[in-house]
């Protein structure tokens, strides 16, 4: 498992890429081994994800009769949803790379997307933690949630541009398959797994 020091280097590299500095690639391990190790990012994101799961659990309980309980199976299902949402965009990106003939770009795409998940997982985790607390600022928190989504789209777009070069259609296609399918599939999967609140 990558150490805290390594993860800091990876995040520093991503920040450079977002700013348009190709030196960021020097701080990332974009070898085949580095791609496999980048999936440790899931474990790094897990504490923040669990906070989000507790928020979703409280959201579910609000729509249930008084005294209703949600057992441990809920967290198993949330974990399944998390894994699916993590892997599906990467599979789609791999298919798109194969179709476009840019398979050599797949490894840096996987590495950067995986490690980019870490800061956003904790930002969303902090937001979920705030949602768990009594507050009259729900509208403001929802706005912050939307702003984070925009920041994530911009960040992924800029990183994809650094990987693929000035190819707007390729970059747009990659951003779409990395972000949109997961958003569209989440509600359907939540309903299928029985963890949708309405």
> Domain coordinates of the chain in residue numbers?
4-193
Task: State the Cα–Cα distance between residues 190 and 176, nearest whole angstrom.
Answer: 21
Does residue 198 register a pLDDT over 70? no
Which pLDDT does position 174 carry in this prediction? 94
pLDDT at residue 61, rounded to an integer: 74
DSSP state of 134: -
| pLDDT, position 67 | 61
Over pLDDT 90: what percentage of the chain?
54
The Cα–Cα gap between 42 and 23 comes to 25
Distances in whole angstroms, Cα of residue 54 to Cα of each of 36, 44, 75, 80: 29, 18, 9, 15
Tokens 């992924």 found at: 156
pLDDT over 80 (residue 9): yes
Instruction: Tell whether the model's pLDDT for residue 171 goes beyond 70.
Output: yes
Closest CA to 96 of 181, 192, 8: 181
Question: What is the C-alpha separation between 52 and 65, in angstroms, rounded?
Answer: 22
Residue with tokens 């690639």: 25
- Is the pLDDT at 59 greater than 80? The verdict is no
The full length of the chain comes to: 198
- Per-residue model confidence as pLDDT tens digits over 108-159: 999 999 999 999 999 988 887 776 676 666 677 778 888 999 999 999 999 9
Q: Which pLDDT belongs to residue 57? A: 80
User: What would the pLDDT profile of 77-96 be if each residue is shown by its tens digit?
Assistant: 888 888 998 999 999 999 99
**Rounded-to-integer distance, Cα 60 and Cα 66, Å:** 12
- Highest mean predicted confidence (pLDDT) among 11-20, 46-55, 180-189: 11-20
Confidence of residue 72 (pLDDT cuts 50, 70, 90): confident
The pTM assigned to this predicted structure is: 0.88
pLDDT of residue 63: 63
Distances (CA, A) of 88 to 92, 98, 128, 172: 6, 15, 23, 17
Is the model's pLDDT at 56 over the cut of 90? Answer: no
Mean pLDDT of all residues in the chain? 87
């Amino acid at each position: 498992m990558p150490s805290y020091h390594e993860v800091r280097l990876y995040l520093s590299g991503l920040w450079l890429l977002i700013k348009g500095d190709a030196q960021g690639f020097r701080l990332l391990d974009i070898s085949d081994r580095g791609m496999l190790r980048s999936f440790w990012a899931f474990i790094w994101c897990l504490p923040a994800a669990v906070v989000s799961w507790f928020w979703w659990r409280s959201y579910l309980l609000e729509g249930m009769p008084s005294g209703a309980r949600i057992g441990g199976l809920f967290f198993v299902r949330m974990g399944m949803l998390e894994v699916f949402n993590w892997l599906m965009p990467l599979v789609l990106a791999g298919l798109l790379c194969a179709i476009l003939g840019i398979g050599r770009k797949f490894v840096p795409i996987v590495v950067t997307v995986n490690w980019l998940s870490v800061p956003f997982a904790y930002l969303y985790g902090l937001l979920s933690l705030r949602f768990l607390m009594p507050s009259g600022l729900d509208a403001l928190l929802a706005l912050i949630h939307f702003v984070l989504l925009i920041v994530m789209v911009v960040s992924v777009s800029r990183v994809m541009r650094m990987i693929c070069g000035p190819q707007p259609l390729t970059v747009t296609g990659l951003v779409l398959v990395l972000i949109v399918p997961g958003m569209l599939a989440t509600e359907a999967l939540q309903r299928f797994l029985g963890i949708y609140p309405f």
